A and B are shown apart, each in its own frame.
Chain A
Amino acid sequence: MSLVNFTTREITCKIVYYGPGRSGKTTNLHYVYGRVPEARRGRMVSLATQTDRTLFFDFLPIDLGQISGFSTRFQLYTVPGQVYYNATRRLVLQGADGVVFVADSQARQLDENIESLQNLQSNLLELGVDVRTLPVVLQYNKQDLPRELILQAADLDDALNFRGVPSFAADALHGKGVFETLKGISELVLKRLAAGSAI
């Protein structure tokens, strides 16, 4: 998938929200959806189970309009978090220009976070993507929960962010940190243009 098409003057960014089940990936997308003017957003496709768990994936296209002469589109995807949907996850991950890893800040979820992160790495490896060059940011979600239940951003950094990528504390339900995260990953993805190394 081409990130920048100079012939048609289009920029398309595919950003995948990854993370363990119930960490708040879909919530992120919902918040973004709620803030994008109607004319700018496509229909959000959400295939969910009865209990609102993502079954297949969420898809939110955003049209940013003409930027520097390029019609710019963002496509936001989420993957199903549950362990047994790995094939779907890999499918969604294919061709991603950037990944937002949404971690659950709850202390008792730390193992799930680590497991999911490892799953991300192995899936990327199988897709032949170099983890070191793919833009990735971390989001520590649910920071609004009582302090005694969660790990602080600094602790999570120690536990998860061994590559030293940008990380954001967030409360996706209320929107805190959602756009910061999106901005963070967009910048990383778009900066690869400047380096002239588009995928």
Chain B
Amino acid sequence: MWYTELIEVSLTRRHVFWHSGAMHRVDPISSMIERSAPEDCAVTVIDCRRPPLTREHDLDVQAIAERRANLLVLTNVDQLLRARRGHAWLRQLRAPVMRHLDEGVTVLVASNAPRRCFPAIDGSSVATDCYQYIMRSDAHDALKSMFLDSERLDWPMKECAGSRAVAAALLGADPGLSRRERADFVAKELRRTVSAALLECGAEVLAWVEDEFLLRRHHSFRFDEIPADVQETMRSAGLADVDAATDTLRIFPNIHKAAAADAIVLANSAISEAPDEWETAARLLFEFERLLRRIIDYHVQSHQHLRKSTIQSYEDKILSNYRYDTGVNEKDVDQVPLPWNWVDLSDLFSLAEQFAMDQRLAGLTARAWQRAHEDILPFRNRIQHMRLPRPGEIERLRILIRELRLSLSNDVN
């Protein structure tokens, strides 16, 4: 059985979140879970791709609460993150889940997306405020428990890289394949499964893996070197493990490095539409740059001696950017409407650092503006060139914007 330990841990811990990522997922997942449960354990599965709904398209809370089971399994819960009313359904799900838990029913929440993808909500989250089961890459043990003949088991045992999904695919392969065909089959399955697992982890984690594994060729990390949510996601996805002896995180521990690199490239090339994280980054960068222009403009306008000199010091750049963008051959900077719109972000940062030398600007010291400069500019350039945001960059920008807004609102008050 593929999921014996998962079921055992769920029945022990009672409310469990499982990242049912591509490396671990053997379809059809519902029946695979049901088959792994003990004989006397009544399992009820609710597939969140088709949750029970009322006529008004709300979650049918009553119907869920009335399902009888020892183990209630919610599969594909990540679908609620994408459905139009999904966030409301996640909220509505809490009451029936709590009722089941009150009655001693075990609740297993299975999501193809990791825990980091679930938003921080107001109340308790049925998806994330519980024990997280991190599945080990031990498909070999699951295979051994299946009592198949050794001839059939040898190949998957050797080549599955600990992944249940790959093992299941190899078990289902044509036994008549030649040695070469078998090698191709394994390579293709691994590449497909690992890249799917990476895509499920989200754009930021994929960007981190690209940076560290492909560009810097790092395979093992101290825990304090990695953002907490990244290491948790990589482990829960079956793409990393902990080396207990050195207390380090190893990525792609069971996969040939060239195969892992192929999978990363495949995952990256599969992204042709802007991921949510990229859209958020672009929106926040827009907001930040507009805010920064306003801050600079306000400061200049309120300091008589800066009005003329500041614009003049950027005259050439303003005029050149203006001409390039509009095609209007303007020669007088005073005739350029909204001149700050034609100043580069790096120059705006330099001005902010300069203005903050003697007195905080929008609540930030010159040192803080310099740090923001160092952080934001490369981030903006990456987003501008359609690359993916790295973990923590969006949150850091969000914090910075909040700090500026707080300072501005305080000035108004």
Does B associate with A?
no
Interface residues of chain B, those whose CB is within 8 Å of chain A, are none
